[in-house]
Amino acid sequence: MKTQVKMTRGAKIITALLILFCLVWTIPTAGILITSFRDSDATASSGWWTAFLTPKDFTLGNYDEVLGGQRYTVGTGSGGTAARRGASMGSAFLSSITVTLPSVIIPIFIAAAAAYAFAWMSFPGRRILFGMVIALLVVPLQISLIPILRDYQKIGLNGTYLGIWLAHSGFGLPLATYILFNYISTIPRSILESAFIDGANHFTMFARLIIPLSVPALASFAIFQFIWVWNDLLVALVFLSGGGQLMEVVTVRLMNMAGTRGSDWHLLTAGAFVSMILPLTVFLSLQKYFVKGLLAGSVKG
């Protein structure tokens, strides 16, 4: 229903109601965004909705403190003092990027290859193996944590980036294979047949034809996995805790901040916003692909 020259009265009422609903949905986020720019005294003594009455209380200091780490002074051995900065959201942000990008890239090609084989090759065990992928789509990843953690402790992968990439890849593969299978199996048979007649083998076929044709599906999965991994708390807590404070990702750092500095709302809100900025940007700019990924059946353990 496109808006014509004049909207009916019903449409006006519905638009007004929807605006109201959107306001209710947006106010919580707006609250922390505004608070993150207010200084600590103002935040502690008055509601954020009064912020625009006292514009001089706005500051960028919260972000400085959150990104660079809290400033404090420590006594040095020789009797003087030195300025130090504590654990920061800035390093957690970097750590999150380190965790997320490879966790998105590694499973994509592995899943695409498997999806191609499931869709276009015949081999013994195909049904059973694909059935296994389908069954494992919704298995809660809680079931894997202890066994995998034990393996990691044995081979020294606990608390390493490599360990968490492989874990996220493993947990993401069933969904990736499923989404890509749904896509690759709809590529017209005639395209593949003519390539085979021209003498292509499976590898050239995969690299030259399947991957380029599947870009929309690859993008959907990539964005979905990006947001999922970035926002994950559980896997990071379990597999990265052994790596010390430098490896903490944004969700873990934010949770620790909420635990230790729960009443410093000016810092907590700035921290929350730092943790949200990248997925929000990705989401808003690539929403189309994300929605496609969701519609493709995105139940994930």
Binding segment for another protein (CB under 8 A), chosen from 44-52, 62-70, 77-85, 212-220, is 44-52
37, 63, 130, 183: residue in contact with another protein (rule CB under 8 A): 130
Query: C-beta of 225: minimal distance to another protein in Å?
Result: 13
CA-based torsion, 10, 12, 15, 19: positive or negative: negative
Distance CA 177, CA 183 (A): 10
* Max CA distance (Å), the chain: 82
Query: C-beta of 73: minimal distance to another protein in Å?
Result: 26
Distance CA 107, CA 94 (A): 21
Residue 37 burial by Cβ neighbours in a 10 Å radius (0-12, 13-18, 19+) = buried
User: Would you count residue 123 as binding another protein (CB under 8 A)?
Assistant: yes
6, 28, 76, 83: residue in contact with another protein (rule CB under 8 A): 28
User: Would you count residue 187 as binding another protein (CB under 8 A)?
Assistant: no
Binding segment for another protein (CB under 8 A), chosen from 58-66, 77-85, 213-221, 270-278, is 270-278
Distance set, CA 123 to CA 117, 132, 176, 188, 202 (Å): 9, 15, 21, 21, 14
For the beta carbon of residue 52, count every other beta carbon within 10 angstroms.
10
User: Would you count residue 275 as binding another protein (CB under 8 A)?
Assistant: yes
User: Would you count residue 121 as binding another protein (CB under 8 A)?
Assistant: yes
Q: Which is nearer to another protein, 81 or 234 (CB)?
A: 234
Q: Among candidates 119, 147, 150, which has minimal Cα distance to 133?
A: 119
User: Would you count residue 53 as binding another protein (CB under 8 A)?
Assistant: no
CA 247 to chain CA centroid, nearest Å: 17
User: Would you count residue 37 as binding another protein (CB under 8 A)?
Assistant: no
Which residues fall within 8 angstroms of residue 82, CB to CB, at 6 or more apart? 73, 74, 76
User: Would you count residue 73 as binding another protein (CB under 8 A)?
Assistant: no
31, 61, 69, 242: residue in contact with another protein (rule CB under 8 A): 31
87, 192, 209, 282: residue in contact with another protein (rule CB under 8 A): 282
Specify the pairing of strand 71-75 against strand 81-85: antiparallel
Direct distance between the N- and C-terminal alpha carbons of the chain, in angstroms, rounded to an integer: 37
Binding segment for another protein (CB under 8 A), chosen from 45-53, 63-71, 77-85, 214-222, is 45-53
User: Would you count residue 215 as binding another protein (CB under 8 A)?
Assistant: no
CA-based torsion, 149, 155, 101, 96: positive or negative: positive
Report 85-104 residues binding another protein (CB under 8 A): 91, 94-95, 97-98, 101-102
User: Would you count residue 192 as binding another protein (CB under 8 A)?
Assistant: no
Q: Which is nearer to another protein, 16 or 81 (CB)?
A: 16
Report 150-179 residues binding another protein (CB under 8 A): 151, 156-157, 160-162, 165-167, 169-171, 173-174, 177
